[in-house]
Amino acid sequence: AGVDADTVGLTLGSTGVTLRRPTLVPALPRSVSRPTWSEPASFAELGPIGWFRAKLAERPVRADRSRALHEEPTGRLDRLDLWILAVLLVSILGMRMFRLGEPYQMHFDEVYHARTATEFLQQWRYGISHDIYEWTHPHLAKYAMAGGLVAWGDDRVTGTSNIGVPVLDALIEPRYDDPTLPHDRAGDRLDVATGSEVRSYDLASRALLATIPVPGASALAFDDAVQRLFVGSSDGSIRTIDLPSLDSVRALGSNALVPDAEEFATIDGAIRRLFVPDDGSAVVVLTADDRVITVDAGTGAIRATVSLTGATDIASAGTTPALVGEPGLVADPSAAANTISEILGGSAETYRTRLAGTADRLVIAGIDTADKKTEIQKAIDGGRLVGLSIESLPQVGVADANGLELIDPSSGTLTRTLDLGGAARGLGLVTLEDDKLYVTLDPDPATDQQGRIAIVAVAGDGAKNGPALVTTMEMPGPVTRVVYDGATEMVHVLGRTQDGSASTIYVIEPHARSVYADAQLPI
């Protein structure tokens, strides 16, 4: 077949060979396919399944070049790669592990996710419904956190010790640093009142450090201001034990250094509870016959006595504003006393007597509302109460049959009774955000609630006019004593299990106010 004019055709036949020039055939243009574009079918046209299949069948716009790399040799790990890996590991661990234990508080997503997990657990474990705080994220991660709390929360008693004597009261001395002691460790002990002595145990080793005879020992209180232990007895006597001496006993291992219990004061009546405010200015005593007696921590003199009904527990109730001064700074005590009486109420003669005191700091009166505080400050600024000022001073809460009783330890007087809707049994101060008191209440006979906790604001906007009830939360069982653990920021409540078969320690997450776990006690 001819291709061009110079092509020669060859024909073989029986008669010979014939050469001929081929007939030229004009070349036809080659057909070229050009790309076209058509709009793909929409989701509405194909439906969910058809649209999904169409997406799977779509060819990529770019050509597949993987074949070109088929013969490419594999990579290798050289020294530079190893150095880069080592630098990355050290850098990441240095940034992520440095001060891993800080901050101690919940921040960022912890505030939402871990909190919501405990809210789920309240419903799942105890059948008590709880509003869910965070709904903006899917809950799978929070379910996993809740499951982790159940699986690895270790909500159980991990150790017990039988000391072989009755336990009437016990407290923990917080650890603090003292450079003169081994490992700088001071305090960090458990003290136990047995009815006849005080036993002090090392918290780290559980070893018995000292046994101090105290007849009738029934109540203990820790004075952080001067590092001493107050011991109340059933005969009304109050003694003190020097705690730095116990540090020396542990450091030197000598029983010869065990201190004696020194006489401090005596009141009329058996002592059930002792409490010392943070400033160490007083010792507040709860007697077996429901009296609250305030004793001066320096002199041992009785300041005042308040009679209550069914008193059961005593604890810090935060601080409250008070009018204070120093001896001799008020030029006209009578005029000042009359001004105080006009603003705060009460007896002008009582204020006049307090202004005439000789103590280093004179506490004239507590201020229970924001309006009264404003009026007192105006009187100070206007020159009517020159020499006086407003300070925040500790106040003490007492749980009794009437609810929450508030005591001013500087004067020993009852400043307020807060009705909580039932008899109070125990209380503890939660110092998270604005201070709040968690107060356990008797079951409400009008409902099926087995136990309740009243939450009382004692600081911040919620308490600008004095302590106020915020809310009441249901508990799985009857509850009594309350303790706040500042390290974990959790509230621990002594109570009974839901079926009433045993004692247990409930755990409350105070951000959510949700009870999410408990550790049953073997005693």
Strand ranges across the sheet with 282-287: 271-275, 282-287, 291-296, 302-307
Cβ within 8 Å of residue 293, ≥6 positions away? 267, 269, 284, 285, 287, 302, 304, 305, 412
Q: Which amino acid is at 265?
A: A
In the predicted structure, residue 17 carries a pLDDT above the cut 60? no
Query: Would you say 516 and 121 are in contact if contact means Cβ atoms under 8 Å apart?
Result: yes
* pLDDT category of residue 40 using cuts at 50, 70 and 90: confident
Q: How far apart are CA 437 and CA 471, in angstroms?
A: 11
Alpha helices, DSSP H only, in 224-275? 243-252
- Both structure tokens of 191: 């003290």
pLDDT in tens, 301-320: 999 999 999 999 999 998 88
Higher-scoring residue by pLDDT: 98, 199? 199
* pLDDT category of residue 217 using cuts at 50, 70 and 90: very high
CA distances in angstroms from 13 to 2, 18, 488, listed in the order given: 19, 8, 111
In the predicted structure, residue 13 carries a pLDDT above the cut 60? no
Cβ within 8 Å of residue 382, ≥6 positions away? none
pLDDT in tens, 339-392: 999 999 888 998 998 898 877 778 888 887 888 999 999 999 999 999 999 988
Helix/strand/coil for 140: helix
Q: Concatenate the DSSP letters of all residues of 322-351 into one string.
A: EEEE-TT--S-HHHHHHHHHHHH-S-HHHH
Tell me the longest C-alpha to C-alpha distance in the chain. 159
Q: How far apart are CA 514 and CA 523, in angstroms?
A: 26
Alpha helices, DSSP H only, in 72-207? 79-97, 109-126, 140-152
Strands (E), 64-206: 169-173, 176-177, 185-186, 189-193, 197-202
The DSSP call for residue 466 is B
In the predicted structure, residue 209 carries a pLDDT above the cut 90? yes
pLDDT at 25: 55
pTM: 0.77
Query: Would you say 491 and 508 are in contact if contact means Cβ atoms under 8 Å apart?
Result: yes
